[in-house]
Structures are given as structure tokens and as C-alpha cells.
Structure 1
């Protein structure tokens, strides 16, 4: 299986497009279907013959108020279907979503120019391709489509299969770090959590620990794409039936881990992309996986800082994350973790170069 997220401005047809590609409804709530606007993450999939496997979509909302939700959907996913409408062109949330993907360092994408039945898609296609080329996404395949007439959908499936097939294969023996994007109770079964398993393997009977290491849970059951499984290896969409103390308190933004493999940290040193770190607000939010955690920034150099987290997260050197200022008035900043056990700063002013 391969998993990708959608991205693009509100009302540019992201949900309509994945609905047309998969035959499944990504909008899970009645209010979303009534308003014709995605408000939360949606999850659908299809099998692509050219890929020889399933392709799952995490459909994200496009409205500016839901950028944190978009980050929760795109954060754990290695690739994106970027959508721009032919009749509206590049819009503010197109730019913000691109800035988020660039900050995350996402390098794999296909561009879909929707509503090709309403306007000439070529000017918008050329403009969007140029904008994406200046980001981490680089040069991307672009397809003009119409979810209404079906024009271009076969070409889009071909490009999606080509892109998905080129994604690096994850390590099935890697330590599990499952960021949760949903948690709910099923009568007779208990707590079920879902997420995108990026690497590693989950098995029925496994023990997992919560992100702070305080709780051990047992895997009672596994599903992937609504099918019961004894084991699932990444990359995959998974639903995990867990049992243990406090399992009812699991929510989006939490994480389940292989035991004794991760060291949660509240203090880290990181490289920050973009403008000098001294210009950052002291209080920002760190987005990693599906988590959004308040952090305090202490500059160390022009592009490095010490980040103190409001709660511990399981991090490793090289992890990519995003810093976002309150209110979203500033561009998101990409973060690369440099040290998860940094030495204590004792000298007054030692945090500045």
C-alpha cells in the first residue's frame, strides 16, 4: 500500500476528486456533506492496476482555520496530491499548503488541475507547476481533470501510480511510531485508534507504549482498509484495537510506540529553515506527525535553536517537523532535529551565538 494526502485551497475540489478516483465518500460527517466543505480528515482508497497495489488518500480540509488539521493529515504521509481549480487559479491556501509541505520537506507529488470542464486549465497548470518547482516538491507531473465529466481521471491514475511506485520502500523491521489521527470506541471491542503506519510492523498481541512511556497497551486486533489482519507493515493505513489502562483517553496527536525503543524528550536542539531564528516569536507550536505541541524557542545561532516542549515527544535525529506561530500570521518554518539529549545551557546568554 501507498498513502498520500491531498492539499490545496478550500473548495477547489479535493474531496470531489478523491471521490471520483475511489468511489468512496471522504466526508465522514453530515455537516460536511450538507455544506459541501471538508472540516476534518477523511480516509478513502482505491486499487491502481498500474501500481499493483492500493493507494490510500488522507483528504484534508482547505480552509485557513483548519491548517492544524491539514498538518495532522499531511505530517505522517510521504507524498501529496496537490489540487488547484482551473476556474479559480492559485489562491492563499494553495500557497499556505505549499509552504507547509515545503517546511515538512515533502518531495513527492502529483498536481491535479480540477474543473477543466469550467475553464481552460493550461494557464493555471503552468502557473502551479512553476510555483511547486520552487519548493521541496520540485518538478511534478500535472494533469487537467474534471470530477464531473471524468475527463483526465485515467491519466491522473497513471501519474499517481508512477509517483507512488517511485516512493522509497519503508523498513518493515523499523521501530513502530504510530501517530494517531482518530480514536473511538466500538461496542464489544473497546478502544480503536487509527493512523498512517510509516514503517515497521504491527502484529496482534504486540505491546505498545504511549508517547510519554507511562502506559503499556496490548494490540487486540488489527484492520487495514477494513480487512482484519494478523500483521500490517508500513506504509499502511491501520486501525488498531488496543486494550490497557487509560486506553479510553487516547486522542489525535498522541502516539503509540515500540516498547524500549524510543526516548521521549522535552528539550531538543534543531535547525530552523528560513529567516534568522532570532526573528521567531518566543512561543510557537511544533507540528510533528499528528501532534501539535506548544514550544519555547531559545536561539542558539542564526539557524539553530533550543526548543522546550510543553510535553515530551518521541524524537530522533533527522526528524522533520514544522514550527507555526500563533494565528498563522507568519510562514511555517521547517525544523530538522539535531540533538534529542542536548547539554544543559548554564552560562547566561549561552543560547545566542
Structure 2
């Protein structure tokens, strides 16, 4: 019996009820293994709630609790079990390779659309690796914290069932909503639980209530806000579409809030202190039969050094290439990054021809991203190079 424990309201509600109400379970607690896969940057409040409440509860029941994190950027690097105990007394969820490492390395941010790669890379992979090790090919039941309003997620998860793995969804079986889980946690621990999320999670910024809560948490923990801004800034330098908020930048939200002075001061100091680089960015998008697009990208560092020197390098390149440096992107009113555009992609990708389209520019940004070329880039770039839109 395995429970994926994400520290948030739903899975905390499941675990609390299983541990405190024996009549709702059909197994002994010595058969249960609770596993948490860490991304590396949970909200401090979430960690505090789990540390002060869930860890003592698990320890009092002698439940085996495993904490795991990725060891490196490749799956071949494996995972690190940071803790494995029936008397857990501390959360140890920051491994050698965090989600922030991956995002900064690739100059990107987590996405609210698509396949939720961040969850696949840092939770599903790590969990599956540990589960395979402890079950040794034997059949097991996998408990997941989907609420009664998340039937679609449960149905999607059930597609991963095999002759060995059987997914189960206690909250759905109990007909419990998140509010029911909230109520149990409040009654049990006399505290208000919060939703589990990374400090730079775009889902938390997708609603007005989420934005308000995020600003409050940044005020309490300015370092979290600094990490989110640093991640977004480099990502938007290298790709104007990569903001943490749809249609808006987190930086713009913080500047307009009037409540983020400390975070913004720290961010300005960060930009002044870190090394910068001149980047050459090439990106392709290839139409798919389902109407969506495959994207591929190549990032190359041309120069690295102080911020002012990189500005000079960009201007020198503009003179050599006889192309002016433009500031900002008209598609995004709050974009103020300087770029030397060598090729722009089609303004409406739905009208693309059958080949790939592409964009190509040189820009400057904090030197957190590394040289990286996607596996399908060269083929897509060769196809896109068969035609060229006006710069």
C-alpha cells in the first residue's frame, strides 16, 4: 500500500483520516508506505504545517515515510532517498537537482498548459523509481489525493494501472471535497492548511485570490519572491511568451501592488550583482496534425561578463549585422528586454504553411541559462530555413 503525499490539503486529508480513523481503511498501518517527492521549493508555510503536524502523527503510528528527490537533470542520474523512517522528525525535500535548477538551466518557467512536465520530471519519475524499488514487482495499491471534484484527474491516472499497480482515490470513494479535507485538518490540528505549491507556481497566479495569497507569502518570505522573479526574468529575456502569469509578468504585478518593496529591492540588487551573458536564441515551431505545435530551441552563449559590458557587446553586434536593437516586444506591453532580431516568426501560427516556422535573435540576460539545443531542433530549423519572413 503506497500513498503519494504531496503535503497539500487533499493528500494531508487522506493521510490524516487513514491514521486517525481506523474504520475507513482495510489494511494495517504496517502495510502502508507514504512517499513525498520534492521539487525543492515548497512554500515555507506548507513545510511548517507538515513538519509540525503530519510528521508527529506518522511517527506516533510508526508509519514508514520516504522522502525522495531527483539527483540530476537526466533520468539516468537517478534519485536520492533523502529520508526513510518510521519516526520522521524533519522534512528533507531539497535534493541535488531541483525544479528551479531545471528552469534556470533552460531559461524557462513552469507551464499551466500541456503535459505538466514539472510534475512528471520531479514527482512522477521520483515516485515511480522508489515505488519500483520497494515493491519489487509485487502488486500494490497506489493511493492518490484527488478530491470528488477531480474525477477527470483520477480517470487519467487510472490509465497507468497495470497488472501490478492499482490506483485508488480515497477522497472520491468518501465523496469528499477539498472543503471536507480542510475541515478534518482544522478539527484535528487546530490550524488552517494551505494548498501545496512551489513558490514560483503559475497555477497559484492564475486567479485573483491566488495572486493576493502569493503577494502575502512573498511579503513573509522575500527570498521566495526573488527566486520567482529571477526565474521569470531570464525566461522572458530569451522568450517573451514565458511569463509566470498569462498575459502579464509577475514583475509587473509586484511593481503595481505597492506591497513588494523588499522583494523588488532584492531583485534590483540581484540584477546588478550577477554575471550576464549575450545569448543567441533560435526557436522553431512545427505544425502538428492535431492543430497544435511542436517547439524546438537552440540557446548559445556568445559572451559572458558584467551587465554593462554585455550591453556594449549587443550594440557592437547590431552595428556589425546592420540591424538595430529593439526594446520590448509589441505582443507583450510589459516586455522591456533589448533584442537584436534576425528573424521573426509568423504573427499568426495558424496560417503557417506545412513547414516549420522560426525566430532568431540575440539578447542579453543574467547568465543562468546554459548552452542547449533540443533533439529535434536541427531538422526543424532546416525545414524552416526553406522560406523566410521579413524581419
TM-score normalised per structure 2? 0.23
Rg larger for:
2
Q: Which has the higher strand share?
A: 1
TM-score, structure 1 normalization:
0.25
Greater fraction helix: 2
